[in-house]
Amino acid sequence: MRYVSTRGRAPPVSFFDAVLAGLAPGGGLYVPETWPQLFASPAGRRNAANGHFSALMAGALKTFAGDDIGSDEVAPIVNAAYVRWIDAEDRGVWPPVVTPLVQQLPGLWTLELFHGPSLSFKDVALQLIGPLLDFALKKRNRRLSVVCATSGDTGGAAVEALKGRERIDLFVLLPKSRVSDVQRRFMTTSGAENVHAIEIDGDFDACQAIVKTLFQDADFANRASLSGVNSINWARILAQSVYYHAAAHTLAANGPVSFVVPTGNFGDAFSGHVAKRCGAPIGKIVLAVNANDILARALETGRYERAAFSQATLSPAMDIQVASNFERILFEALDRDGDAVRGLYERFAQSGGVDIPPAALEALRKDFDAVSINDEQTAATMRNHLPYVACPHTAVALAAVAAVAEPLDEPVVTLATAHPAKFPETVEAATGISPALPAWCADLHARTERIDALPNDAEAVKRTIRERTRAWA
């Protein structure tokens, strides 16, 4: 299978070329040339509903990787990613199900995605990316400098996935004073020599802008052998799409399943769209956003326009004003017209806002809805759903179920994207319950932190990477 850029003007590339590069030349994002059908046969649908997550992932990975990974090479990669879940039942540590479904009410389910090593949904994909990159780099005899901007959860998941890997140096950019203490410690306490946590004096959008600047400097990107593991990386989207397949096929006996997704960067929501394009029985996908509501405003008004700054909320991982993966869905809504996408993003870079063409807006509204939830609604939802203890991001999704303009077809699945113990102060203030960390990370607050503080300056980040990466040429 080949991959093309959302902004056109770049040759199609292989799976590993897309994964190792992260961004396409010219700043576009990679997507498959065509959408394959997965789990389409009756047996395939049964396996999607009843099989272990690792088996589903193996099928999806082989399809999207094509000849880049041999049939006998897929299982070792996937098993390395999900071995903690595969043997969890024997060790009594983690749930043996990677992404369990929990029923809240008749017709309402929560898909728990936080049972990985950093207690975030991003572990599901990044645990695959670790062995996947090892395989590709060994095959090509390469090293990488992986750079990651995080609003809180991606950084910790990237550290857990890539720490100690011989051919990778990881640089995590986190916004100063905009992540929880638990989130920060997952990034700063690994003790691994190849992990570098960098606190930027700015918000997440500033961190993300620095990462994009690094990639746009072609000479620097080449000499540093730069790559990324944010959701701009296609492998993240692929891996996340699999849990949509699993949940949808499990619950779709009477028709399509609606999903409500807490989102800021649109990556997880786009993963649901990918699953739908590949045959999963999915109806509406609702974007549940907080006060940083660029996606809700875009669908309501047709104007994609960032605010002057991101607002700090109870759900900090969603405090994002520029949703990187929205470019991928615009590419689809514009009938894969790379020139049109490039033009929109050039104007967006200049003015901070663009009008979505009417036909594309209509296409988006067919598949997506969006609801903005404020902090008061978030806290009330956390209280009202007890005894189920939800993190604030999960609470945004639960609140959106009732707030959506048109009733959703049942069943409805809300995504639980983080463990409540990652936000203990927020959860306790709303519910009176102080959630405890799981046993495998109960000593997190006793671990030694290591972090660098840098200004909001791409050149300062470049100097740090040059000094510390082993990939510099």
Task: Give catalytic residues, as residue numbers.
Answer: 122
Three-state secondary-structure class, residue 220 = helix
The Cα-based distances of 413 to 66, 84, 104, 256, 337 in angstroms read 31, 25, 10, 11, 32
Phi, psi of 190 (to 5 degrees): -70, -30
CA distance 43 to 184: 43
For 27, 57, 172, 440, the CA distances from 218, given in Å and listed in that order, are 11, 33, 20, 41
Residue with tokens 């620095």: 210
Residue type present at position 40: A
- The H-or-E segment that residue 74 falls in is helix 71-86
CB-side neighbour CA atoms (13 Å) of 379: 13
Element (H, E) at 147: strand 144-149
Calpha distance 431→188 (Å, rounded): 29
Q: How far apart are CA 7 and CA 326, in angstroms?
A: 13
Polymer length of the chain: 473
DSSP assignment of 153-171 equals HHHHHHHHHHTT-TTEEEE
Structure tokens at 118: 């950093």
As given in the structure block, the two tokens for residue 418 are: 């983080």
Continuous segment of H or E residues that includes residue 102: strand 101-105
For 363-455, list the strands marked E by DSSP. Answer: 368-372, 412-416, 452-454
On the question of a cis peptide bond just before residue 411, with omega within 30 degrees of 0, the verdict is yes
Query: Judging by DSSP bridges, how do beta strands 3-5 and 353-355 pair with one another?
Result: unpaired
Q: Output DSSP code: residue 420.
A: G
Nearest to 192 by CA among 218, 172, 214: 172
- Tokens representing 396 are 């945004």
Q: Specify the 3-state DSSP secondary structure of 37.
A: coil
Burial of 343 by CB count in 10 Å (0-12 exposed, 13-18 middle, 19+ buried)?
Answer: middle
Cβ atoms of 384 and 82 closer than 8 Å? no
